[in-house]
Chain A
Amino acid sequence: MSDNKQLQRDTAVEALYAEAVHWHINTGDETIHAKRVGGKWRRFKWLTNALWLILFLGPYLRWGDRQAVLFDIPNRQFHLFGVTILPQDFWMLSLLLLFFAILLAVVTAIAGRVWCGFFCFQTVWTDVFTWIEEKLEGPPAQRRKLEKAPLSFEKISKKGIKHLLWLMIAFLTGVGFITWFVDARQFWIDLASFSLGTTALITLALFIAGTYVLAGYLREQTCFWLCPYARIQGVMVDNSSAVPTYDFHRGEPRGRVKKGQKSDDQTTGDCVDCNQCVAVCPTGVDIRHGQQEGCIMCALCIDACDIVMTKLDRPTGLIRYESLDTLSGKENRPLLKRPRIWIYGAVLMLSLVGIAYGLSTLEAIEIKVIHDRQPLFVIQSDGSIQNKYTVKILNKMTEDMDVTVSATGIDGLQMAGAEKPIGSRHGKVTPRTVFVRVPRENIKGGSMSLLFRAEGRDSSGQPFMSERQSVFMGPD
């Protein structure tokens, strides 16, 4: 590469960023009507959009005689297919949240705002809403014309149908959300008989309003000004993250193609300044200004540019997934040499292992033992030492169960208070106060360990057991 050429490119880059100074950010005073074009990323986007069908259809899956996945908040039970998780197991939820938080970080570090561009409900719902808009009102130019047009029957009917469809989707979104928390079949029955509870009604109203306003009106403004994740993800991207990028080395200086021009006497860069990338952008940014906060990295501009490049017989990929490092001629650090990948990967693995451990060791009954600390121990008239414990039996099964509690670990210990089996109620914690007495001569040191065990059988005769280590305190 000659010095002259390099200089030319550098000035081109300078000019590029000089332009950015005058870049206008849409603060919501105009509606962005993005053009829709086909392409592989568009197809991919429909696939990722379709993932959200789970929200609508998931609640209708059944498992035995109940909903397969149900977050039953009033009864404090979380059904996940065959597993029922009680609040006591909710530490796994924090691991799950950690997993998704780190997943967001690692994906963003590797390929930018993939969540924003392909999976986020704001993006997906906006995409579907504008798709409906296009089907009813036509491509962007027609939509702008219709907006300016005086009120007419045609305008009212087009707009009316659109808003009706939007509201219907908003309604279904609300139903989709709520039915994860209440039984889906019962919800429809209650809805039809006007006997929905206040909570469900308010949630439904909020979802209808939220969906309608956020996807119908606020759209990209949400990503610009409301969403914190948009900004957080900005700091997760570094120079080695491959994100939709305009190759300014290849594209600049821009020049419009003239009729009959041959590729040989091309004096300008590959960018023909057709502005297709801006026209298709759902957030109205110009990718040629480089990475910016408004870009949700949905890759639709890649489709648009590739179409133009193919038509002009130039190589595609003027806008492509590329990192700043490779773009500036540096070698991209391999994935495995980036400490982030290792650290994020380790946290991901840890949280997954934790969840797997939690799910595989879910006990049907769980015993907790709380040693009474005031007083730590009591001397009895025969000189023996007595300790008081509160034993709590958590029964996670669907039936009540008689549980026998025993303690072992110290010679000659006697337990009072649990002679009869404890009737533990299902889905509840049953507490019981027990006293453990140990003869003076068997006391060794101020603190001795003691093992409590709860045992029971369900109606089919299957045994369940849970153990808990505790201490027995005595005089030194």
Chain B
Amino acid sequence: MADKNPFPGENNTGHIWDDNLRELANPPPRWWMVAFWASLIWWVAYGVIYPMWPALPGSQGFTKGVTGWTQMKEYNEGVAEVEAVRAQFETKLAGLSAADILKDEGLSAYTVASAKVLFGDNCAACHGRSGQGGPGFPVLVDDDWLYGGTIENIEQTITGGRKGVMTAHGNILKAEEVDELANAVVAGKPESSPLFLQKGCIACHGMDGKGMAALGSANLTDSLYRFVPQNDQSVLESVKYTIMHGVNDPTDPNTRQAVMPAFGERLSQDEIKKLAVYVHKLGGGQ
């Protein structure tokens, strides 16, 4: 072909169309070829070292690679690394009571950090992401505790759960009696009404109306309410509703629902311990 080439000396391939259109054999630059072969070698080496899909012709699935690397393996290694860091704290925590953990600054810092997930999984649905409470559910960040705010109280509450009871007084009291009592409670001085004594409120809420942690009865003298008024309800209406329908009273279908489930079965001792510390540290622990 070379002898017929009408364009000698320009390094064409001899492929000529339409008289003068021809293909030149210009090689790519050396560095380009080096990079090209280097990437090919890289590709082969990568396929040998790491898993490769599809597998070599004739075999099924994928090749495992000489290092046996997998994403799961790497993930598990990462988890093990974190667990190793946690283990130093966890072993210490296992032998301590919640109160002891509270005393140690480093350990309680670790507990607060690691119990955040536990709180999110088990508590946040009712008590809010940061323990700020929700409609009908108690606030955990204030200093008002129905069953006491010491670390032991909190631990006990989580383990055994709580279910307070208040009788519905809708059928027992007259409307004006409910009014009078409700007004006294809103004023923060329940004992100012003679009805408070006469109708037996003191049995649960105490002579001074400050509630009893053993029964879980509410403190009626402070500025916080267990049942926060919802929607457009006034505080007075809300208090009247509680007096009339009670709490967890099976005889009244409109009663207030207030159940804290028991976590003793669901969570381990250590987890409950951690949660107690976490809740105690939210701002209201006593």
Contacts and interface: CB of A to CB of B under 8 A. Distances in A.
Interface of A: 27-29, 218, 221, 225, 372, 374-375, 378-383, 386, 388, 431, 433, 435
A374 B129 contact: yes
A381 B141 CA distance: 11
Q: Which of B128, B142, B281, B283 has the most CB of A within 10 A?
A: B283
Contacts of B142: 378-381, 386
B112 to A, nearest CB: 8
Interface residues of B, number: 21
Given A375-B132, A433-B281, A381 B30 contact: no
A27 B223 contact: no
Interface in B134-155: 139, 141-144
A221 B32 CA distance: 12
A374 B281 contact: no
Interface in B159-177: none
Closest 10 CB pairs of A and B: A381-B222, A375-B132, A383-B223, A374-B130, A381-B144, A378-B141, A378-B142, A27-B29, A380-B143, A381-B224
B219 interface: yes
A386 B283 contact: yes
A375 B29 contact: no
A225 B31 CA distance: 11
Interface in B81-131: 109, 112, 128-130
B42 to A, nearest CB: 15
Given A27-B29, A374-B132, A375-B141, A382 B222 contact: yes
Nearest to B139: A378
B13 to A, nearest CB: 20
Given A221-B31, A375-B128, A379-B142, 8 more contacts: A28-B31, A374-B129, A374-B132, A375-B141, A380-B144, A381-B219, A382-B223, A388-B141
A418 B65 CA distance: 56
Contacts, number: 51
Interface string B260-276: 00000000000000000
Contacts of B132: 374-375, 378
Interface string B210-248: 000000000100111000000000000000000000000
A381 B29 contact: no
Nearest to B113: A431
11 contacts: A27-B29, A29-B29, A374-B128, A375-B130, A375-B132, A378-B139, A378-B284, A380-B142, A381-B142, A381-B223, A382-B223
B283 A379 contact: no
A375 B141 CA distance: 9
A379 B29 CA distance: 76
Given A378-B142, A378-B283, A388-B283, A29 B223 contact: no
Contacts of A431: 109
A386 to B, nearest CB: 6
Contacts of A374: 128-130, 132
A372 B112 CA distance: 15
B59 to A, nearest CB: 34
Contact of A28 (B29, B129, B144, B219): B29
Nearest to A435: B283
Contacts of A375: 128, 130, 132, 141
A379 B141 CA distance: 9
Contacts of B222: 381-383
Nearest to B145: A381
Interface string B196-212: 00000000000000000
A243 B159 CA distance: 82
A445 B94 CA distance: 46
B141 A29 contact: no
Contacts of A29: 29-30
Contacts of B223: 379, 381-383
Contacts of B284: 378
Contacts of B129: 374
A380 B144 CA distance: 7
A27 B28 CA distance: 10
Contacts of A388: 141, 283
A297 B112 CA distance: 62
Nearest to A376: B132
The residue in B142, B143, B281 that gathers the most chain A C-beta atoms within 10 A of its C-beta is B143
A251 to B, nearest CB: 33
Contacts of A380: 142-144, 224
A293 B277 CA distance: 68
A28 B30 contact: yes
B117 to A, nearest CB: 16
A357 B70 CA distance: 50
Contacts of A386: 141-142, 283
Nearest to A225: B31
B143 A381 contact: yes
A374 B132 CA distance: 7
Nearest to A440: B223
Nearest to A381: B222
Nearest to B129: A374
Nearest to B31: A28
Contacts of A383: 222-223
A341 B31 CA distance: 40
Nearest to B106: A423
A372 B130 contact: yes
B112, B129, B142: which has the most chain A beta carbons within 10 Å? B142
Query: Looking at A27, A374, A378, which has the most chain B CB atoms within 10 Å of its CB?
Result: A378
A221 B224 CA distance: 78
Interface in B27-49: 29-31
| A380, A382, A383, A388: most-surrounded residue (chain B CB, <10 A) | A380
Contacts of B112: 433
A218 B132 CA distance: 65
Contacts of A433: 112, 281
Contacts of B219: 381
Contacts of A382: 222-223
A40 to B, nearest CB: 35
Contacts of B224: 379-381
A375 B144 CA distance: 16
A387 to B, nearest CB: 9
Contacts of B109: 431
Nearest to B29: A27
A29 B142 CA distance: 79
B81 to A, nearest CB: 17
A218 B141 contact: no
Contacts of A221: 31
Contacts of B29: 27-29
A223 to B, nearest CB: 14
A382 B109 CA distance: 28
A355 to B, nearest CB: 36
A185 B144 CA distance: 62
Which of A27, A379, A381, A383 neighbours the largest number of chain B CB atoms within 10 Å of its CB? A381
Contacts of B141: 375, 378, 386, 388
